[in-house]
Amino acid sequence: MSEDNKSGHQDHSQPASVLDEMDTSNKNLQNIGVELLPVHTGGTVHAKRIPGMFRKFKWWIASFWIILFIGPYLRWDGHQAILFDLPNRQFHIFGLTILPQDIWILAMILLFFALLLAASTAIAGRLWCGYFCFHTVWTDVFTWIEEKFEGQPNKRIKLEQAPMSLEKLKVKVPKHLIWLLIGFATSFSFVAYFVDAFDLWSRLFAFEWGATETTTVLILGIATYFFAGILREQVCIGFCPYARIQGAMYDTETVVPTYDKERGEPRGRMKRTKPGEEAPELGDCIDCNLCVAVCPTGVDIRYGQQFGCITCGLCIDACDSVMEKIKKPKGLIRYASLAEFGGKQLPAIWKRPRVVVYSSIMLFSAAMIVWGLMTMSPMDVKALHERAPLFVQMSDGNIQNKWTMKVVNKGNMPMAAEITVKGPESLAYNVDKVIDIQPGNVGSTTLFVRMPRKQLEDVNTPIVITVTDLNNPAIVEEYEATFIGPRPR
């Protein structure tokens, strides 16, 4: 990070001295459509919006989060497709029920995404922050709404500084109401992943919400409003722990939006020279400040990488648009690495140790997830052998073992679990009943297995307990158990 700008905001002591010498009313630039903008002077950042490739990219990726709002209404086999049913300790994801015993799959999914975050940061900086992070996306939407009500940044700053009046209230109140509405829509959608969404709606209109739902929706709704509407970039700069640890994930080959100092400096605005006066030798940066004006965190990227920079690329769009107007090559600010500026060749991605380590762990967790999902049965069987006594000697000379059978229905349809036992020919068994189990529930019964004592060749005899769903005979689960008897005579 630049020493000039540790706060993430522009260090005004430096550019001010540069700006003082500038001709801020330069007509040449204004004639070709280049605006000369004042630098950000602290307080809330009111970023200017300009079209460009990265702006488009941001909107496209932001639209992914619409899934948050429609996700709870998706149905699968007549049930909510994604439901984290905490009271029953079951996660339903498109027909797949993950129970506490399968929670390792969720842990692997989390590991995969954590490593994806680390690998993407090592390759191209804070891609998550710049494009995917819900805080960045929500703030972007909130400021877009603000612009619709209050206008361009200069108008917004004036309005902010103006004393309270009816006119000001007329603009501010609807904006804040819409922000609150989005905040509560967000928190409602979040809660709808934990309880049935339609049921949540019907209980809302019947005023039957419980304390947990009410407080969660209220707290999250207000937090969304407060973070995305009021705190905005301060969350990225001051609170977000990821911003603090990202430095550890960067290396000299990480590509991030970077200002080409060699090409841009000495920066300065074009001036008309008087006859005989020598034009100053300037770099390509015309010091228009557009790159700073569009930055959602108020960073001046010309002072180097700073942790306020969320690598959104909007300053690249801004500078490219200026370069186009002044007929200079684009890319004065571009995605580049320190190594590139040091004249080094970037090694292939698979040759970078950091990326290799992250990718290997990601591959491992992806393989575990695939294996876990492929081998996951819609039925889980547990056979608990009676311990006291381990076996019973019957009056007819048979030895009997007892099991408590527990069958978990991890599917979405009711199950009729029939238990059969395979083992030596002389084996006999009886089970209390066929167990009827509702989706996500556990059913149990008692299994008795008998064998004539004289047929026993060892203390332990392996047997196989098979559980078949009579409603869907393709669902079969086998359980290897041990029949225990006395020492053979």
Q: Which amino acid is at 60?
A: W
314-333 residues in contact with ligand SF4 (CB under 6 A) are: 314-315, 318-319, 322, 332-333
Q: Does 127 bind ligand SF4 (CB under 6 A)?
A: no
Size of the site for ligand SF4 (CB under 6 A): 29
Q: Does 224 bind ligand SF4 (CB under 6 A)?
A: no
Q: Which of 127, 235, 285, 381 binds ligand SF4 (CB under 6 A)?
A: 285
Taking the least distance from each CB to ligand SF4, the nearer of 144 and 198 is 144
243-262 residues in contact with ligand SF4 (CB under 6 A) are: 257, 259
User: For residue 467, which of 431, 438, 440, 439 has the smallest C-alpha distance?
Assistant: 431
Taking the least distance from each CB to ligand SF4, the nearer of 314 and 408 is 314
Residues 117, 121, 122, 123, CA torsion sign: positive
Q: Which of 80, 297, 337, 468 binds ligand SF4 (CB under 6 A)?
A: 297
Q: Does 237 bind ligand SF4 (CB under 6 A)?
A: no
Which span (291-299, 343-351, 365-373, 449-457) binds ligand SF4, by CB under 6 A?
291-299
Which span (67-75, 95-103, 303-311, 366-374) binds ligand SF4, by CB under 6 A?
303-311
Taking the least distance from each CB to ligand SF4, the nearer of 3 and 457 is 3
Q: Which of 143, 246, 258, 289 binds ligand SF4 (CB under 6 A)?
A: 289
Taking the least distance from each CB to ligand SF4, the nearer of 291 and 381 is 291
Q: Which of 288, 362, 451, 481 binds ligand SF4 (CB under 6 A)?
A: 288
Would you say 312 and 58 are in contact if contact means Cβ atoms under 8 Å apart?
yes
Q: Does 125 bind ligand SF4 (CB under 6 A)?
A: no
Within 8 A by CB and 6+ apart from 369, the residues are 105, 108, 109, 112
Query: For residue 3, what is the enclosing H or E element?
Result: none
Tokens 């002077």 identify what position? 41
Residue 95 to residue 80: CA distance in whole angstroms: 9
Cα-Cα-Cα-Cα dihedral of 348, 353, 355, 360, to 10°?
Answer: 120
Nearest approach, Cβ of residue 128 and ligand SF4 (Å)? 13
Taking the least distance from each CB to ligand SF4, the nearer of 108 and 314 is 314
Q: Does 143 bind ligand SF4 (CB under 6 A)?
A: no
Please compute, for residue 127, the number of CA atoms within 13 A of its CA located in the half-sphere on the CB side.
16
Q: E strands, 17-88, where?
A: 75-76, 79-80, 82-85
Nearest approach, Cβ of residue 311 and ligand SF4 (Å)? 5
Q: Does 313 bind ligand SF4 (CB under 6 A)?
A: yes
Taking the least distance from each CB to ligand SF4, the nearer of 17 and 165 is 17
Residue 115 to residue 364: CA distance in whole angstroms: 11
Nearest approach, Cβ of residue 319 and ligand SF4 (Å)? 3
Which ranges in 192-326 belong to alpha helices (H)?
197-205, 211-224, 233-234, 241-245, 261-264, 290-293, 314-325
Taking the least distance from each CB to ligand SF4, the nearer of 319 and 421 is 319
Residue 196 to residue 201: CA distance in whole angstroms: 9
Which ranges in 63-133 belong to alpha helices (H)?
66-70, 103-124, 127
Q: Does 37 bind ligand SF4 (CB under 6 A)?
A: no
Residue 361 to residue 359: CA distance in whole angstroms: 5
Gap between the terminal Cα atoms of the chain: 81
Reduced to 3 states (helix: H, G, I; strand: E, B; else coil), residue 404 is strand
Taking the least distance from each CB to ligand SF4, the nearer of 140 and 380 is 140
Taking the least distance from each CB to ligand SF4, the nearer of 31 and 345 is 31
Nearest approach, Cβ of residue 130 and ligand SF4 (Å)? 6
Task: Give the orientation angle of helix 134-150 with respect to helix 166-191, to 10 degrees.
Answer: 150
Tokens 């769903």 identify what position? 469
Taking the least distance from each CB to ligand SF4, the nearer of 141 and 286 is 286
User: For residue 271, which of 15, 22, 37, 19 has the smallest C-alpha distance?
Assistant: 22
- Read off the tokens for 175: 């904006």
Which span (60-68, 154-162, 286-294, 341-349) binds ligand SF4, by CB under 6 A?
286-294
Interface residues with ligand SF4 (CB under 6 A)?
257, 259, 264, 267, 285-291, 294-295, 297, 299, 301-302, 309-315, 318-319, 322, 332-333
